[in-house]
């Protein structure tokens, strides 16, 4: 599928629902980052902007990326409305063709799943290389299909965190896996309904 198809699809996904006035951060981000000193963060696939705004409120300088024009425009407007546009830079990026420039203390990729062409291993490897020494890469993937998910394919393969780490192929001399597990939680969907879901969590730290 072409980039144009991917942009059209994800613009449609975001445009089909009202803009979030105060989007929630992802639970795995808050439990991982709380207590860390703020620095420079990169949010891959920022969506509604819940992670981006939460980080900015803590003092992080955040580069928020998404393939969707709608998502990027909404995050930009939200950051401005909360007086955080000096800490948030939202840019449209197609990770299939390029990776954002810069060095970061945190890169987070929550549910970076798509039915379009995307070499995730290459993207996540670039994310690891974009870390400063001591920086962390947090990858959270769906380990189950929520009732409200855009992808209801029951045969989809949910790669475990160790499998994801192996696919990235990082040298243990430079990066250390700090967490790789499956965690359950009760999630709330866009319509307010709840369901138990599984998150596959991978946390990698650059040590050198």
Per residue in 72-115, pLDDT tens? 999 999 999 999 999 999 999 999 888 999 999 999 999 898 77
Return the CATH number at 135. 3.40.50.150
Name the residue range of residue 88's domain: 3-206
User: Which tens digit of pLDDT belongs to each residue from 177-206?
Assistant: 999 999 998 887 777 778 888 899 999 999
Q: What six digits make up the tokens of 36?
A: 């860390």
Categorize the per-residue pLDDT at 118 as very low, low, confident or very high, splitting at 50, 70 and 90. Answer: confident
136 vs 19, more confident: 136
Report how many domains make up the chain: 1
Q: Counting Cβ atoms within 10 Å, is residue 52 exposed (0-12), middle (13-18) or buried (19+)?
A: buried
Question: Which position has the token pair 């197609």?
Answer: 94
Q: pTM of the entire structure?
A: 0.89
Contacts of 108 (CB under 8 A, 6+ apart): 29, 41, 42, 43, 44, 51, 137, 138, 139, 140
């Amino acid at each position: 599928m072409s980039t144009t198809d991917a942009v059209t699809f994800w613009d449609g996904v975001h445009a089909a629902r009202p803009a979030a006035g105060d989007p929630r951060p992802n639970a795995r981000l808050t439990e991982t980052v709380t207590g860390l000193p703020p620095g420079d963060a990169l949010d891959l696939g920022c969506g509604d902007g819940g992670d981006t705004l939460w980080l900015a409120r803590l003092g992080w300088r955040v580069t928020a990326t998404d393939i969707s024009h709608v998502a990027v425009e909404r995050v930009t407007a939200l950051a401005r409305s909360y007086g955080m546009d000096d800490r948030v830079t939202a840019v449209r990026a197609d990770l299939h063709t390029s990776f954002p420039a810069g060095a970061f203390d945190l890169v987070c990729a929550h549910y970076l799943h798509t039915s379009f062409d995307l070499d995730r291993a290459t993207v996540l490897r670039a994310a690891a290389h974009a870390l400063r020494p001591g920086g962390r890469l947090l990858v959270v993937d769906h380990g189950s299909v929520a009732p409200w998910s855009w992808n209801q394919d029951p045969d989809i393969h949910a790669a475990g965190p160790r499998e994801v780490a192996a696919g990235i192929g990082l040298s243990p001399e430079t990066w250390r896996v700090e967490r790789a597990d499956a965690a359950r939680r009760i999630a709330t969907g866009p319509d307010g309904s709840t369901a138990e879901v599984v998150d596959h969590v991978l946390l990698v730290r650059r040590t050198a």
